[in-house]
Amino acid sequence: MRTRIRNARVFDGLTTTAQADVLIDGGRIAAPDDLPADVEIDGSGKTLLPGLIDAHTHVFDGDLAQALRFGVTTELDMFCLPGNLARQRRAAADHDDVADLRSSGVLATAPGGHPSQIMDAPGVRDLGDAAGPFDTVADASQAKGFVEARLAEGADYLKIVIDNGHVGGLDLPVLSPETVTALVEAGHAAGLQAIAHAVTTRDALVALDAGVDGLAHVVTDPLTDDLAARIAAQGVFVVSTLTYFEAVLNDPSGAELVRDERIGSKLSDQAKAALDRDGSVIPVHPDGVRNAVQAVGTLHRAGVALLAGTDANPWAPLHGASMHREVLLLTEAGLSAEEALAAATSLPARRFGLADRGRIAPGLRADLLLVDGDPTTDITATRAISEVWRRGVRQAR
Ligand SMILES: [Zn+2]
């Protein structure tokens, strides 16, 4: 099966070409040629992009299907329990109507540490085997065994939580700096990148001292230029998750997303209802939204690699849909539209070693998004979805 998209503007993950043809041959992008295609699609007035990659999510049943409807072709899960993870991996391998995923599997936290307090909430218990008890790390001597257990589950990277909850008025057990360092070292020895959850400067410094590869959030207390410079100097990437802080802090600005017909019309009533969430059990600075947007701007100016990620979960942010607000917020924080699109495509692919995706080039996976208009000048045009392909399979409208 060969499909040719003709005369589209093409953002290839890095730069934009005003008009080009792109050929899909089976599950791959092929070099354009003059051979006849089975399907021809007129791309005039439209823009073709690599499928979006959400660099921070938590996947439960149905989420990967919803993500793909909104053009997110790969989700990077940052905490998933073993039974659920096996089920989601099977779905992603066997079906072409769901997004692909990578996952840390179980995250590393202290016994009773974040997010244990969320796992005990009534709505979470309804998630069954996806919310049961999970392995924790009491001290540095347990780091190696914890990483080995994650490898056995097929983890793609290691997620480490450094969060005593104080910034949000909670008091939670937290990994010691020595234990964080032991986990990062054990992860690296096993070939796994280490990605830390830290939402304060204090905790981000523990992560940086330990030698992590990435931060799963921007910090929500005021970020200093010194910290930004340190993150840049260490080559650490940062996942934005601005829509997450909006959701947790019930910032009313985020509601524009579902009021946008291009998004709202594709969401179930259940998904819309999930926007209301009780964020009181989640540690975030009270001024977290404003601080986080400023942090993204400061990190960007410091040359830090920013990856678009929502922290989509069973409530808000919403799988797939919220990526279209995340990239808008990245531009409001100071990234150009093309930079925000790269943060949602080529950059996460590169930083997570996904060499087969994130760009439009011959030989790569045909994970593609065709939208009306020009998101390289108006970022909200990503919401005007015309077509989505996953591994070359054109999705139903
Ligand atoms: Zn998360």
- Residue 221: the pLDDT is 95
**Distance between Cα 393 and ligand 1 center (Å):** 29
- Residue 128: the pLDDT is 72
Give the predicted TM-score (pTM) of the model: 0.97
The tokens describing 279, both together, are: 């964020």
- Residue 34: the pLDDT is 73
d(CA 345, CA 350): 9
**Tens-digit pLDDT string for the chain (397 aa):** 999 999 999 999 999 999 999 999 999 999 887 778 999 999 999 999 999 999 999 999 999 999 999 999 999 999 999 999 999 999 999 999 999 999 999 999 999 999 988 887 767 767 777 777 899 999 999 999 999 999 999 999 999 999 999 999 999 999 999 999 999 999 999 999 999 999 999 999 999 999 999 999 999 999 999 999 999 999 999 999 999 999 999 899 999 999 999 999 999 888 887 776 677 888 899 999 999 999 999 999 999 999 999 999 988 899 999 999 999 999 999 999 999 999 999 999 999 999 999 999 999 999 999 999 999 999 999 999 999 999 999 998 7
Per the DSSP assignment, residues forming a β-bridge with 160 are 108, 196
The tokens describing 78, both together, are: 């940052």
**Distance between Cα 86 and ligand 1 center (Å):** 19
**Distance between Cα 298 and ligand 1 center (Å):** 22
**Distance between Cα 387 and ligand 1 center (Å):** 29
- Residue 186: the pLDDT is 98
- Residue 370: the pLDDT is 98
Cβ contact 4:41 at 8 Å: yes
- Residue 279: the pLDDT is 76
The tokens describing 159, both together, are: 């997620």
- Residue 314: the pLDDT is 86
**Distance between Cα 307 and ligand 1 center (Å):** 14
Cβ contact 66:359 at 8 Å: no
**Distance between Cα 309 and ligand 1 center (Å):** 9
- Amino acid (one-letter) located at 199: V
Query: Could you give the dihedral angle defined by the CA atoms of residues 256, 257, 261 and 263, in that order, rounded to the nearest 10 degrees?
Result: 180
